[in-house]
Copies of this chain bind each other. A is one copy, B any other.
Amino acid sequence: MDIWAGFQLNRKEPVYLQLVRRVKQLLASGQLPDGSSLPSRRETAAQLEINPNTVQKAYKQLEEEGLLTTDSGGSIVSCPEKSLQRLREELVREMGMEFIRSAKELRLSFQEVVGLLSELW
Contacts and interface: CB of A to CB of B under 8 A. Distances in A.
Chain A interface residue count: which class?
20 to 34
* Interface class of chain A by DSSP: helix
B11 A8 contact: yes
Contact of A106 (B64, B92, B100, B105): B92
A96 interface: yes
Contact of A6 (B12, B91, B100, B102): B12
29 contacts: A6-B12, A8-B11, A8-B12, A10-B10, A25-B105, A29-B106, A29-B107, A30-B107, A88-B107, A88-B108, A91-B106, A92-B102, A92-B112, A92-B116, A93-B120, A95-B102, A95-B103, A96-B99, A96-B113, A96-B116, A99-B99, A100-B117, A100-B120, A110-B117, A110-B118, A113-B117, A114-B114, A114-B117, A117-B117
Interface of A: 6, 8, 10-12, 25, 28-30, 64, 88, 91-93, 95-97, 99-100, 102-103, 105-108, 110, 112-114, 116-118, 120-121
